[in-house]
Amino acid sequence: MLTFEKIQSAVFITIYVSIFSTLIAFFLSMIFGYLIAINQFQLKKPVVIFLSSLTSIPPVCAGLLVYILISRSGPLGWMEILYSPLAMIIAQIVIIFPIMITLIIKNIEEDYPIYRDELMSYGASKKDIIFILFSNKTNIYITVFLLGFGRAISEYGAAAIVGGSIDHFTRNMTATIALETSKGNVSLGIVLGTILISLTLLISISLNFLNKNNDQSK
């Protein structure tokens, strides 16, 4: 029973944190991605390059950055969220936000000019064009969401640093696998590893299916 509770707790924490971090990162990526992609400003190219470079940030470094910000001596220490699921969500947002916004900017920059000239000749506004882009490219945005979720659900370093790997509170699947395997409880690690691999495989299959549909619709 105790083993089942550990599995249930680790799976719940992993999915809970990953879903919320992905939703928030996706929402922010959509807003800022569209603003950056459809507007021209002086520092646009450096901003895009900077965001693109952040896609390769090591998760441990992202966790360290968030730890410095939310620790007691940090500028956000007054929030007292260190070693909590919220801290893990913030750390995962830092990791997946650059990936998601870079993909969204690239997609919009490719499609926006094509739609803009024709639709504006019919009196469409920027908001109308954005709505049409979003409604016609739903599969692409779902793909971006799944990529972010897949990255978040398999993350270990950042979540462990800011979450503290507290049993039944912030200990996710990756942390539980590492801990239980080091204690010699390999069977529990295998069970959680199988669940994690199954989830990532499901995401991979979904991505391949969406990409296939995207290719057929072109």
- Cα 171 from Cα 18, distance rounded (Å): 13
pLDDT per residue, tens digit, the chain (218 aa), is 457 888 899 999 999 999 999 999 999 999 999 889 888 888 899 999 999 999 988 999 999 999 999 999 999 999 999 999 999 999 999 999 999 999 999 988 887 777 777 777 666 777 777 777 777 778 888 889 999 999 999 888 898 899 988 988 999 999 999 888 988 888 888 999 999 999 989 988 888 887 776 666 55
Helix, strand, coil share (%) of the chain residues, nearest 5: 80, 0, 20
**pTM score, whole prediction:** 0.89
Tokens standing for 40?
A: 């021209």
Domain 2-217 class, CATH top level = mainly alpha
